[in-house]
Amino acid sequence: MADALSRFDGKTAVITGGGGGIGAAIAARLHREGARVAVLDRDVSALPTGARWYLHEGDFLAEGAPEAFHAAVVRDFGPVDILINNLGQSGRERAAPFHRSQEEVWRFVMEISLFSAMRMSRLCAADLQARGGRIINMSSLAAFAGNPGLTDYAAAKMGLIGFTRSLAREMAPHGVTVNALAPGAIRTAAHAAMPPEIIADIIAKTPVGFVGEPEDVAAAAAFLASSEARYITGQTLLIDGGNWML
């Protein structure tokens, strides 16, 4: 088993949506274990700078942005070994009953929560196939739970699970594993903005009796990104304190 403090030495990890919350925790974890870490997000000011960091501030959906980011990473750090597709957003601020929902919101949610992962995976595919790399897609408990008002988000995140399974089969002959993580309630800025009674209800419905931390997701991501997970592919790991069992 590789030393946990150096198991990603010499590896290049790319994380979309890594400027805060879960993405930032994953970035910090991989960097701490030796990886060169490249992050693309609209705001990366909360991340550290220095050796083995490449921070690219920008909008993934802007024309040419993913291509420019990938080219810069390869130029500065070399080919990609680990891809974390963490970018995602619901249309919660514009949520409505489905019969009154708007297609422009559907398209935005699909672009940011599903198509971004597909595009980034395609960009990095040659690198990953040549190096027996890892892809980790960030799904959500919402894909399973069917939350009212989040039909577009649930569809995108379940679509990401289907993408994960299909791509895993395609990439397996090249030594690439493709898995997904599906976090439940995690203590992020979005979670903190919820009304206290909603948070209390979530905790009451979670068997472990508490809300997870971004580092809980980062630990799972680091395992799936490591050589120890070489025999795991096409899987979706729920990180929800047992919520989905109820």
On whether residue 6 sits in a domain, the answer given is: no
- Residue 202 pLDDT exceeds 60: yes
Count of domains for the chain:
1
The average pLDDT across 158-176 equals 99
Confidence of residue 101 (pLDDT cuts 50, 70, 90): confident
111 token code pair? 């672009």
Give the model confidence (pLDDT) of 49-90 as tens digits: 999 999 999 999 999 999 999 999 999 999 999 999 999 886
- Residue 140 pLDDT exceeds 80: yes
On whether residue 164 sits in a domain, the answer given is: yes
Confidence of residue 5 (pLDDT cuts 50, 70, 90): confident
Confidence of residue 191 (pLDDT cuts 50, 70, 90): confident
On whether residue 139 sits in a domain, the answer given is: yes
Residues spanned by the domain of 124: 12-245
On whether residue 5 sits in a domain, the answer given is: no
Confidence of residue 92 (pLDDT cuts 50, 70, 90): low
Which positions are annotated as active-site residues? Answer: 153
On whether residue 2 sits in a domain, the answer given is: no
On whether residue 58 sits in a domain, the answer given is: yes
For residue 86, the domain's CATH number is 3.40.50.720
On whether residue 4 sits in a domain, the answer given is: no
